[in-house]
Chain A
Amino acid sequence: MNGFVLTKDLLFLLSPLLLLQTSLVVYCGFVIFKEGVRNLSKGAWLLICLFINVIGPVLFFLLGRKEVE
């Protein structure tokens, strides 16, 4: 994996994805602390949302939200 340098150009190109991920994480964090969670602890869900790209927040919404059902 040499040559994988994060240049400014690359960052610019990746910005839509980063934006999507960041906004999701922020929203999930909001929901986690406001509504509470199920199945796993708050911390665990937050880590999942932070480090698993997009799939993490989606998983949280499917399995971790308290209100649904």
Chain B
Amino acid sequence: MKSELHKEALSALRSGRILILMASFLFLALLTPTMLKIVLPKVLGSRIAGDASQEIHEIMNMTQLGCIRSYVGHVFEIGSLIVAFTLCGLTASEIHGNTWVLPVCAGKRFAQMVGAKLFIFGSLLMITSVLALLANYGYSGLLFGFELGVLPILRAGLLQGMYMLFLLSCLITWGVFRKRPIAAGFLTLATAYGVHLITSLLRIHPYTPSGLLIHVHELTPAFDSSLLLPLGVTILLIIAMALITIGLLKRLEWNGRSAW
């Protein structure tokens, strides 16, 4: 297991995936306050002359809280996209490119291989989510003035990381189903957005991973009991998907020539 974790950590580092995720999340985190504070008022201000521009400033109600909420929304829309396409090859390219043949023959267990991927990239996504949200918190506080404590931010960051973990396990499972990185990416996005759509249409927020995002959006410091349900559902889903993946892998045939 140790060598498995080491391998995944090395792959995250050397393939530049850590860098891509960190950079793009930080970019989103820093861009949102910039847009809201500097660019948007200038653009609007130049369109609407005179006193009106001042009013717009007030109407848009730009506060730190609003800014963070706007960022959190961007993470769901754009961050998911980045995660999906950065990590889409996690299992798919291992199968498609036959890089798993030698480890399997050397006696590596599927549960360990999938577990190590979930652990390493899951931690990476958690850390990235929390760090980016902290950066967003700090920067927006600098621009608009601080009005929140750090605790709700940490809580929101961890919940967001949990949602990203859900995306990760989708990627891993779809990768084994379809064996093509790009297909795994698109299917994961379809799953994520689909779940979100169904959740908001049927109003079943407490029962889906998308419910986590609602809690992220709230930015409250308290851990109330309504959080337990979506969190539990998400964790169960992640475990179920991991088990499905391992089951599929055990039944997979590794034919020497690349599987089309």
Chain A residues with CB under 8 Å of chain B are 1-4, 10, 13-14, 16-17, 20, 24, 27, 31, 53-55, 57-58, 61-62, 65, 67-69
Contact = CB atoms under 8 A, between A and B. Distances in A.
Nearest to A31: B16
B89 to A, nearest CB: 7
Interface in B33-67: 34, 37-38, 42-43, 45-46
Given A53-B27, A58-B23, 16 more contacts: A10-B38, A13-B38, A14-B38, A16-B135, A17-B27, A17-B31, A20-B26, A24-B23, A55-B24, A57-B23, A58-B20, A61-B20, A62-B86, A65-B15, A68-B16, A69-B97
Main secondary structure of the interface of B (DSSP, over half): helix
Contacts of A13: 34, 37-38, 142-143
Interface of B: 14-17, 19-20, 23-24, 26-27, 30-31, 34, 37-38, 42-43, 45-46, 82, 85-86, 89, 93, 97, 135, 139, 142-143
Contacts, number: 57
B97 A4 contact: no
13 contacts: A3-B45, A4-B42, A4-B46, A13-B38, A14-B38, A53-B27, A57-B23, A58-B82, A62-B20, A62-B85, A62-B86, A65-B16, A69-B93
